[in-house]
Structure 1
Amino acid sequence: MNHRVLISLVNELMNNKIIKNVGVILGCSIVAKVLSYIWEATLAAFLGASDQADAFYMTTSIFGILYPILDLGIWKVFLPAYKKMLVEKKESDAERIANISITLFFVLSIALVIFLIVFAQPLVAVMASGFDSDKRKITIEYLRISAPTYLLMAASSVVGAMLQSREKFLGSQIREIGTHISKIIFVIICFRFLNIYAAVIAMIVGSIFRLLIQLPFINWKWKFRFDFHFKDKEILPMIKGLPSVAVTAAIVHINGLVDKMVASGAVTGAVACLNYGNKLMNVFSGMISTAISTAVYPNMIQCITNKEEGHLRRLLTKVISSLLFCIIPISIFCLVFSSQLVSVAFERGAFDSSATEITAEVFVGYSLGMLFIGIASVVTNVFYGYGDTKITMNVSLIEIVLNIIFDLMFVQIFGVAGLAFATSISAAICLCIRFLLLKKYIRISLKSISFEGLKILAISTISAFIPYILITNFLDVNKYISIILCAILFGTLYIGLALILHIETLYYLKNLFYERLHK
């Protein structure tokens, strides 16, 4: 890509406010991920890799399957319809479908709460078949107590989509911060009195603050009223598209639950270690892919609506290149320093060295799939933009089947860590399938992207092993200082080598933010 085209694309992106939105989302994501880590580290210190931890994280995994139906599902089907109304200056219609949507999903929330309370026993029997009777009993109890968490999630999700549609990304993203802060404070204060039940009740507390923290950002004329016109012409397509969107949105959580189902028959703490490894992986990669995919989604819809295929192609190419540049080095760093990172993150209180060893192996397995999951979230948005939910659902179902097959194979070879490897390999295969199916709508040059990706992989590997050899082997410092020094040296080497090898994406990002600062 020549410099004139690059500058033109930079200006285009500035006009669409993508960089500003990515910055806001990334900033909120970083804070939210740090708070999420504090939440997990607090629970790890209190619970370690115990039977109670296994039961609690199996409960959260069941929630993780149903949660996307109310959150990511709403974001994918409600946001485009609401955004279209705003673009067409139909404010009253936009607020009408918002009220109907909140009513609809609140009714579904009530149904879900009742379902979880009534059918908790058979759900746990299926999903935690490897648990002994005592562990299953406490899992059922935790699930029933935490069921009301869903009551306000629907309203929170719809309000968040409304804020995003109006480019109030701070308001839509700050909900995660409010959720984690309220949970952390509650569990720290109440754990001495309520024990594990403090963590269970904290889920309900977090869902309340999730909605409340967004309300001050609503500064346009809108008054909520229950509206049961579910057969409205704008609502029916949303209802029809929701199942396929929900399956796709829940894919990561479904695979995580499948992993935990298989792990439930393994050693005590296996489920908890899977959870800790996955959460730590998301701290490093999730914020980047989420920020980028969230910020560019409205712009993708706009390009598709206006039939600007060239703009969409350039945007998608640069987004994928940016993910390569950011996620590959993070993945390599996590692979090389897995034990040190897990030790620094969790090894305290009831979380001992044996738990660190198992979690580090799991962390390696999940880290291998960081890039594939991140790119898949962006590519999937293209299909949603074209209104094609069948492709996304079918690929997601294939990914679930592959994950189950690989789980059963790899757990015999690698133990608990094999479950994480299975998830990453399934994600890699299905990303290839998505790229093949993407040609139905748009063609992008994967050759240049792949070549740049290989260069990034090479310099990331060199940048990681140099500090590993020099600092971990020759400097006698505590683990906290050691990992900080390794990260600083790694980052310095990576950027330096990227400049020497003229990695195009580095110059693209540098120009992007340079122009933004001067504006």
Structure 2
Amino acid sequence: MLRKLGTVSGLTLASRILGFLRDIVLAATLGAGPVADAFMLAFRLPNHFRAILAEGAFNAAFLPTWAAVDARGGDSTRLGAQVLGWLMLANLALLALALGATGWVLAVLAPGLSPGDPTWPLTVTLTRITFPYLLCMSLVAFLSALLNGRDRFAAAAAAPILLNLFMIGALLIAERFPSTAHAAAWGVMASGIAQVVALGLAAWRAGIALPRPRLGLSGDTRLFFRRLGPAILTSGALQVAILADTIIATFLPAGSLSHLYYADRLYQLPVGLIGVALGTVILPDIGRRAGTGDETGMRRVLDRALVICLAVGLPVAVLMAFTGDWAMEILFVRGAFDPQAAQASAAILAAYAVGLVPALALRSLVAGFHGRGDTRTPLRLLAIATTLNIALKIALAPSLGAVGLALATSAGITLYAALLFVTGRRRGHLTGPPPAQGAILLATAAFAALGVVGFRDAIHQPLSAAWPVAGPILALCAVAGAVLALHALATLAALRLARGRGGR
């Protein structure tokens, strides 16, 4: 598991580093004003639908089904061809609606904007440019599932790197476009095509026969659709909570959506490196073991994943809460992104940090159900958590602004993870890490955070005032060293705890 996690996390880290470079360029060129909000909205809308149709629901329903059919020697090729046919049909219908009625889609999904808003025409144009990205990502999700089902994780994990490279390249030649926002939007669209080509070549090199799309309903395909319905509702509920941030932020002061975006970028770094990567690795593993009835193996896989989430998540969460302002200033304060925008984003990041450990564990906890073909239980539990999440967003946003949205997100995620953990443990899906280990790791994280804060106040700030170039360089080196040290300690702890779990 750790070897596979290292592959996915390493490539995800490379993608996130390029993503930060992309966001540095975005912050310097677009800042956090109305034009930036127009692009963020056009970028987020297809990503909301992608998370529902392409990645979240599709992977939850298709990958375990395909892995189980393939493990028992069934006709996985026919299943893939029929699922691909229906996937493309659904995406083409949604794309036609989005391109033909863009104004209506924006009126529903971003009611804080109106046709009388100065940025309305720009938002409509940018949305029409970026929305076809959804079709590309659906094909990427299908190809990724085929590769992951054969334990080939590298190509799918590396695909997002192309998004960052294409966006950076487009921003560097922004003078050739009507505006910088247009350049970023076209970079998104071009990257989608490149990712489809890259994953198709990876599947061909892996010897995976790419099926021709067909509209059929075999027994396995019907099973996929029975699992897909609850999975769509589950992913949809998650995206409703995220989309609520977008909708409510359109009623907040200008720049709120951009502040949320930059805070989310830092928050999603550990979520992507650990939480999403672990879920990606263990889902096909649990699916194959479910096909052969290996309950002990499935339980051991999930226990080890949760230990890793705990070992890495606690120290990182404390660091995010204590040093977010510093990280924002180092990464983004330049050009149109000023110190006030950095402070606003850092406050949001601290609110996100409250729910980081549950956020890391979510994908693994859900995989414990989805890998067994159970897509209904996560939906039922998520409905409870989403109700709390949305209610808190509505209650907190008027007084706390974007920080209230982030706090509500953390509360909803924590409740969802707790419900999944308790239900999974009651059903025998997992045993869970012992509480004593969590207390030790929390104390270690607190001391590490105090050390970083002391370094920032005693060394970094005075040195930055005396020599502006040296301060950021030294700070980046210190942060990199601290992250590497924490990662090494957490990995060693995870290995020791995993061995202990595996021997019981």
By the TM > 0.5 criterion, same fold? yes
Aligned residues: 488
User: Is 2:321 the partner of 1:317?
Assistant: no
Q: How does 1:161-240 map to 2 (within 5 A)?
A: 161-195=145-179, 196-217=181-202, 218-219=204-205, 220=207, 222-229=209-216, 231-240=217-226
For the 8 Å contact 2:129–2:186, the answer to whether it is kept is: yes
For residues 48 and 229 of structure 2, the distance between their equivalents in structure 1, rounded to whole angstroms, comes to: 13
The correspondence of residues 405-416 of structure 1 with structure 2, limited to 5 A, is: 405-416=391-402
Distance 2:92 2:484 in 1: 52
- Larger mean CA deviation between 155-164 and 242-251 belongs to 242-251
Q: Show the 5 A alignment for 1:240-251.
A: 240-251=226-237
Structure 1 residue 55 and structure 2 residue 42: aligned? no
Shift of 1:491: 5.3
TM-aligned CA distance change 1:419 to 1:153, over 3 Å: same
**Native 8 Å contact 1:325 1:505 kept in 2:** yes
Q: Which residue of 2 aligns with 1:337?
A: 323
Alignment of 1:363-512 (within 5 A): 363-442=349-428, 444-446=430-432, 449-475=434-460, 476-478=462-464, 479-484=471-476, 486-487=478-479, 490=482, 505=494, 507-508=496-497
1:156 aligns with 2:131: no
Query: Is it true that 1:64 corresponds to 2:64 in the alignment?
Result: no
d(CA) in 1 for partners of 2:214, 2:441 = 52
* SS across alignment from 1:350: coil
> Cα deviations across residues 233-274 of structure 1 (Å, max 9, x unaligned)?
221222232232123235544322211211111111101111
Give the aligned partner of residue 468 of structure 2: none
Deviations 1:10-58 (CA, angstroms, capped at 9, x unpaired): xxxxxxxx33321211111111111222222221111111101112212
Q: Which amino acid letter does the alignment assign opposite residue 208 of structure 1?
A: I
**TM-superposed deviation, 1:118:** 3.0
C-alpha distance in 2, partners of 1:371/1:385?
22
Residue identity matched to 1:462: F
Alpha-carbon distance change, 342 to 222 in structure 1, aligned in 2, over 3 angstroms: same
Deviation at 1:406, TM superposition (A): 0.7
Question: Which residue type is aligned with residue 453 of structure 2?
Answer: Y
Distance apart, 1:424 and its partner CA: 0.3
Structure 1 gaps, min length 5: 1-17, 513-519
- Quick one: which amino acid aligns to residue 102 of structure 1? L
**Please, which of 76, 82, 87 is the counterpart of residue 105 of structure 1?**
87
Q: Which residue of 1 aligns with 2:338?
A: 352
* Alignment match, 1:4: none
1:293-308 → structure 2 map (5 Å cutoff): 293-308=279-294
Match of 2:436, as an amino acid?
F
Question: Using the alignment, how far apart are the partners of 2:490 and 2:20 within structure 1?
Answer: 30
Structure 2 residues without counterparts, runs of 5 or longer: 465-470
Match of 2:467 in 1: none
SS of corresponding position for 1:160: helix
Q: Summarize the Cα distance change of 1:271–1:488 in structure 2 as closer, same or farther, 3 Å threshold.
A: closer
**Which residue is 1:118 aligned to?**
100
CA distance in 2, matches of 1:71, 1:44: 27
- CA 1:160–1:136 in structure 2 vs 1: closer, same or farther (change >3 Å)? same
Q: What is the percentage of aligned positions where both structures have the same residue? A: 20
Structure-1 separation of matches of 2:487 and 2:263? 27
Once the 2 structures are TM-superposed, how far is the Cα of residue 430 of structure 1 from its aligned partner? 1.6
For residue 324 of structure 1, give the secondary structure of its aligned residue in structure 2: helix
CA–CA distance in structure 2, aligned partners of residues 295 and 198 of structure 1? 35
In 2, Cα distance between equivalents of 1:496 and 1:179? 29
> Which of 34, 42, 64 is 2:25 aligned to?
42
- Which letter maps to 2:253? V
Q: Which moved more, 1:479-488 or 1:324-333?
A: 479-488
Amino acid at match of 1:300: I
| 1:293-340: CA deviation from partner (whole Å, max 9, x where unpaired) | 211222222333333333333332221111111111111111111101
SS in structure 2 of the partner of residue 67 of structure 1: helix
